[in-house]
Every structure is written in structure tokens, then in C-alpha cells.
Structure 1
């Protein structure tokens, strides 16, 4: 068997190893329970980082050894074997991660980063396998050279990112914070949507709402009269804004929409402060991983409930639906308040700290701890959300004439 034939066999085996690794990563929750486990997350992540570094270097060596213009097949054989070995190694590291000990969110983040890397590695292996199977003239073509360089660069970029500060999280808190930031951006979008809804409706009260003359409804959105015909989605949104302005002639319903805005503003602020005050400076020892995972689920639920509440404000508005979605949002906020207990001492401990504060003497002795100050702020914020949403969830709310009725 020639060296080229040996390389083709080795590349085929390496490609199959990558495919098996991807399958194992996708089904890691079904790992063998008898596999020896380690609870030291730092050790697991350090080993994983080392393996990624080895794959980075071996990927470079493979690109040099199998350069299409002048491949050195004999030199590439040990490199291909090493890549297969390292790929199996990173899968083993991830199988050592335990959701109960290290957190489900952390594992998902690691899986995401490593899966992209293994896919990129398999693409490189498959590229060289295709080149080896082609004729010399095709393998030396300009397009062939560009392809292997692009794929090698992609692998390098993914590994560099995974090993960097924005890549694989170092602990559960880091993983939760990353997902929390994503939810925070979506919550801010919902709040902005209601703000634009109010501004657009109030600004278009005097606009012509008859026929298809809805261009003026876009002035408040900064689009103005461009002389261009709006597409179907733009036309629908413009009409919704103008129809909403008619509903705003009812002070009662206008107050309802403004109350929704106030509740969303408070919940967005609450969500932001959880990230800045609690997740960015977690107590020592940190809360259990399963509790942090549960907290993140509340964040996802808060985002979904906010989206549903905002959607209920559009034409045709149904007060019963708005109340239903408001109640759902409040339930999520109440659940979030319970989840935050993991960051604060129990009530008796807080009372002891407060009773021990001295009015005179050492200044530091008269200053409440950060934990007490944080808990006081969050309690006040949750209380304000409850008060602000009281009218929204009240069954006494009656719709103004015409509201909630579908047009004929």
C-alpha cells in the first residue's frame, strides 16, 4: 500500500471518528453511569483546553503536510492519528461533566463550542480526503488551495474563540450570566416595542385613517414619505399603529397600555440588576448549580411571558387576554422572587445582622452588608411590580366600547 493510500484510509477513519464524536456529543445525557467521575471542574476544563490547543497545532501541521501543491503523505500519517485521538479525548472530557455537580447550562455551552470545532475538523479532513482522491492536476488547482486554507482558518478561529474569555465558561455562574445577557436584550426589545407603540399611536391621532393612505403613520418611525410603496408587512404594521391611535381615544385603555409599559420597565430593570448585583458577584460559596439552572429557566419564562403580553396589546385588543397574559407574567415574577432566595441568608440571619448594627462607634459596624442592601432593593422592586400590575390583573377592568370586538 502506498503512502497516499494509507493517508486515504487514515483520513477516512478520522472522518468517522469525528462523526462518532458528534453523535456522542449530541447524546451525552445518555452517558454510561458506571464511568468514573471527577467533581473537579477546573481539572476537566484544563484538560479540555489542552486538547483544543493540540488540535489547533495538529490542524496546522496537517495543512502543511497535505498542501495540495506538494503533499507529503508520509509526514501526515502520525498527525491524522493524533487528531483522531484528541477528538476522542475531548468527548471523554465532556462526558465527565455532571449536570448535578457542574450545571446543565455550563454543559450546554461547552457542547455548543466543542460541537462547532469537531464539525470544522471533520470538514478539513473531508477536504483533504477529497483532494487525495482527485487527480494531481485538480488537487493543485487554485480553488482546491483556497478551500483547505479557508477550512483550516475556520478551525483556528473556533478554537481561539472557545479558549478565549467569551468561549467555554469557567464555571456555572459564567454560563448563566451569558444566557442571562441574551434574555436581557430580548426583554429590552419588548419594552422598546411598547414604547414605540405608545409614541406611534399618540403621534398618529390626527392622521388620516381612512383608505390606504397610511404613509403618515410611518413618520413617527422615521420612514416618512419616501414615495415607495410599502410591502404587505409594512402596510399591516402601519395600519395597526393608526388603529391603535383610535383605541387610545379611550383614556381607560390608554392607561392600560401605559401600565403594561410600567410593569415591563420594572421587570427589565429587575432582570438587569440580577445580572449586575447577583450573577456578576456571586456569594462564596456560590449557589448550587441546579439552583442556578432553575433561575435561568425563570428568565426564559419571563421573556416568553413578556412577549405574549406585548402581543396582546395589538389590534384587536381583548381585555380578557391582556389580563390573562398579565397574570401569567406576575406568576413568573413571583417564581423569580422565590428563586432569588439562593443568594440571600435566611430571615433569622438577616434579623441578627440588623439587630447587631451599632448607631455609634465603628462606622463599618453601622453599615448593612451588601447582601442585606441587595435583598432590600429586590424586595422593594418586587413590591412595586405587584402594585403597578394591580389594575392590570383586576377583574373589574371593563373594556371601552368597541375594544376587543373583531371588525366586520
Structure 2
């Protein structure tokens, strides 16, 4: 068997290994290894895969492939992808936290998928003689190699524990909440600008190209939008305070179950916030606003219940009471103000 034939068989085997790694695992693999050891093993495997990918791409350069030099990195890829799959299976939600496990599984899938795409590219190039010497083939394999490298670089930023994984998700949610807050602020600014605009109220020709000009806010809609803006501001403050005080890395972390619940609530709150903001575009339907406001209120109550849950965050809240003048009372006050603002908007939405 020639080296080229061996390489093609090895490529097919790596392809099969990657596809198997992408299949959902029915059961996690129980291990007594500490989390820091599992984390180190996973990141080390990604480093090995990075090196093997680089060697393979150099050996199988379409314009001048060296098949004999590709055999070792191909074996390394198959072995390391399989090892990565098993290592990822050692991370368990009940022991290490659901959010961390989701991050690990996402990394594993991205690695297997990107390597699979690279291997497919090499197989396709080899099977098409017209592409082997073409610039297109060179561009393809380089793009695929860069994609693998980019994914493997992510392993260096893999969260070391569930608290850090939740903080990462929390920061992403916070950025999106800020976007929603600014979106409503822009609505208010535009509406107030239009109310003092003395220019002609024509459509400026937009209708001629099939685009309808948005309706101006009536005073009731503008006031409603301002009320939602105030609610979102309070939510911003609450969200940031939880990150700073409850999810602090300088003290003992809450339990993984509590961390997972907080992260889930945060992401659901983001969706509810987006849905509420969407109801503010003109013409507003008070019934739609009321419906989304009801869902929003429930999530705020769920946050409040979790923070008040016995034992869930008792240590963190007691520490706050000792370290700061306001302590946990800040959260109590924030929830009172939030419910008051939501109630005021709810009353204004009722038919008169």
C-alpha cells in the first residue's frame, strides 16, 4: 500500500472519529479526578491537537503533499480527538455545574466539527486532480486550518470552574441588557425630537420604494416607553450588583445548583427584556405590553425568591451585611422599587 493510500485511509478514520465525537453521549464517565486536573487534561489535549493540525496541513499542502510526513499527525489527531471526547465526558453537571459542562461540550463539538471539515477538504482536494495545483485548493485548506486553530485557541479561555463559567455568561447577558436599555433610550430621544420637529410630515419618498415610515409616538406611548426605560435601568443595576457581590471570585462561591439557577434566570430575563422592548415600537398595543410585562414581573419575582431562598445564598448575603453598610438591604430595596415601577406601568395599561 502506498503512502498516499495510507493517508486516505487515515483521513477517513479521523473523519469517522470526529463524527463519533459529535454524537451526544448517553452517559458521563465517572472519575475521581479533581476538576483542576480535568481542566488541565482538556486544555493539554487541545494544545496537542493544535500541533498535529499544523503538521498535517504542512505535510498535505495541495501543491506539494508529503504523504509519509502526514501519517504521524493523522494518528495523533485520531487519538487526541478520541481522548478529548472521553475527557469531556468526565465533566458532570451534578459535580461540576451545568454551565461549565455546557461550555466544555460546546468546545469539544467545535473542535471535532472544525477538524472534520479540514479532513473533508483534504479528501476532496485529493480526489480532484484539477484542484490540487489550484490557488482555490490552497485557500480552502488554509482557511480550514485557521478555523481549527481559532477553535483550539478558545481552550485557553475555558472556564476553570462553574463560577467563572456563570460569570462569563452573565457578562454576555449584561451586554445584551445594556443594548436593550440603549434601544429604548433611542426610542425616547427620537420621539421627543419628532415632537418638536417643524418639518413637513411627509414620507420623504420612502413609500415609493415600499418602505413605510414608522408612526410617531403619541404622548401615552412616549410615557409608557419612559416607564419601561426606568424599569430596565433598575434591572441593569440589579444584574450588575449580583455579578459584583453574589458572583464574586474573592469569596466562596454559591453551590453549583444555585449558580446554574442564577445563570438560567439571567438568560431568561434577557429574552423577556427583549420581548418587552419589542412591544414599544409604534403603534403600541397596550395588551401586548401588559402580557410581556407580566412575564417580566414573574422573572423578577423568581430572582427575588432565589436570593431569599434559605441556604442558597445565605453565606454571600451575610458577608455583604458585614462588609458593607447596606449589605443585603440593597437587594431588598431594589426589588421594592422594581415592583413599584412595574405596578405603576401595569395600572396605566388597564382600560379606563
Q: Which TM-score tier does this pair reach, normalised by the shorter chain?
A: 0.7 to 0.9
User: What corresponds to 2:14 in structure 1?
Assistant: 14
* Separation in 1, partners of 2:254, 2:324: 14
Aligned with 1:108 (options 98, 102, 109) = 102
Q: Are the counterparts in 2 of residues 173 and 279 from structure 1 also a CA contact under 8 Å?
A: yes
Deviations 1:240-269 (A, max 9, x none): 2x1x1xx20x5xx65443222211111112
* Separation in 1, partners of 2:31, 2:341: 50
User: What corresponds to 1:31 in structure 2?
Assistant: 27
Q: Secondary structure at the match of 2:328?
A: helix
* Separation in 1, partners of 2:351, 2:284: 12
In the alignment, structure 1 residue 63 sits paired with structure 2 residue 63: no
Aligned with 1:144 (options 118, 137, 141) = 137
User: What corresponds to 1:380 in structure 2?
Assistant: 333
User: What corresponds to 1:369 in structure 2?
Assistant: 322
- The structure number with the bigger radius of gyration is 1
Query: Structure 1 residues 50-59 or 39-48, which shifts more?
Result: 39-48
Q: Are the counterparts in 2 of residues 105 and 172 from structure 1 also a CA contact under 8 Å?
A: yes
* Separation in 1, partners of 2:326, 2:79: 52
Pairwise mapping of residues 112-127 of structure 1 onto structure 2 (< 5 A)?
112-127=106-121
The count of residues paired between Structure 1 and Structure 2 equals 349
* Separation in 2, partners of 1:197, 1:276: 30
Structure-2-length-normalised TM-score: 0.87
Give the C-alpha shift of residue 277 in structure 1. 2.8
Give the C-alpha shift of residue 301 in structure 1. 2.1
* Separation in 1, partners of 2:348, 2:124: 69
Q: Secondary structure at the match of 1:315?
A: coil
Give the C-alpha shift of residue 320 in structure 1. 4.0
Aligned with 1:262 (options 230, 234, 251) = 230
* Separation in 2, partners of 1:100, 1:370: 31
Give the C-alpha shift of residue 326 in structure 1. 2.5
Structure-1-length-normalised TM-score: 0.76
Change (3 A) 1:259 1:84: same
Give the C-alpha shift of residue 396 in structure 1. 8.8
User: What corresponds to 1:357 in structure 2?
Assistant: none
User: What corresponds to 1:405 in structure 2?
Assistant: none
Aligned with 1:82 (options 62, 67, 76) = 76
Q: Are the counterparts in 2 of residues 208 and 214 from structure 1 also a CA contact under 8 Å?
A: no
Q: Secondary structure at the match of 1:149?
A: helix
